[in-house]
Amino acid sequence: MSVDPLAEKFPHFSPYQFAGNKPTWSREIEGLESGVDAMMMANAYNSLDEEGKKAWRESEKRIFLFFVRLTPAEDIYGAFTGKDFEGNAYNKGEAAAWAAMGLIPAGKFSKYLGKLKGFFKFEKAADRTLRITNEILKDAKLTKITSKGLKNFTKEGNFNDALKDFSKYKFKKVEAKFDKNGNLKAKIGYTKDNKIINVRPTSKEGSPTLEIARYTDKGNYKSEIKIRYHEE
């Protein structure tokens, strides 16, 4: 074992590290600087399921758009079309003003700093939702996965237990729906990472149900997980 010949250039790394501490997707030749191995990255991407690949592409798209938006390109486009690069409505007058301001780097940076903060808040919310879901599923049993990817679970408990699990999530908005007799039909919560979680006292199967869904690109939502509660 020998000390990395470039140890002084990278004091934040151990002198005995390899590939910048990223051996799964970087490489180095004869102890020099690490570089991304395209083949390893491709293999990592191909090992993901469809949901994982979609999340990978979305992350790349967000990063690309962030740096593009530090230039006036999108504002110039919006001034002519009334839309941004993602197809959302963009006031032409506002776009033209920002296009002019885009000549001043500080103006562009201040505009998109808020969007960058929003991105990190979204990622933090997604991590929190996933952590809570995994905690709830610890005592659940997977019974079926449909052709559309919906995972069905059963869990010991009643509607009060389902409500307790629902309350573990952090929502930006919660709605309650009642039948004509004033009985609760469902509680629906909306998370900051675009998940829709609802809990119902009964379902087609007759059991209290907690359902987790996500918004799709088409503006509707797709169920991902259903947990049905049964008393032993």
pLDDT digits (tens, 9 = 90+) for 182-232: 999 999 999 988 899 999 998 887 899 999 998 776 677 889 999 999 976
123 occurs within a structural domain: no
Average pLDDT over residues 140-169: 93
In a domain, 203, yes or no: yes
Q: Which amino acid is at 58?
A: E
Q: Assess if residue 198 is contained within a domain.
A: yes
Amino acid at position 162, single letter: A
Please, what is the angle between helix 92-101 and helix 105-137, to 10°?
Answer: 110
Contacts of 188 (CB under 8 A, 6+ apart): 174, 175, 176, 177, 196, 197, 198
- The mean predicted confidence, pLDDT, of the chain is 77
Q: What is the C-alpha to C-alpha distance for residues 42 and 224, in angstroms, rounded to an integer?
A: 27
Q: Is 141 contained in some domain?
A: yes
Res 25 pLDDT > 50: no
Q: Is residue 206 part of a domain?
A: yes
pLDDT digits (tens, 9 = 90+) for 76-102: 888 888 888 777 888 888 877 777 766
Tell me if 223 is assigned to some domain. yes
Instruction: Give the total number of structural domains in the chain.
Output: 2
Phi, psi of 156 (to 5 degrees): -70, 135
Polymer length of the chain: 232
Q: For residue 19, name the pLDDT band (cuts at 50, 70, 90).
A: low
63 within a domain of the structure (yes/no): no
Assessment of whether the complete model's pTM goes beyond 0.75 = no
Residue 13 is given by DSSP the state S
Does a structural domain hold residue 103? no
Domain that holds residue 16: 7-44
d(CA 55, CA 40): 18
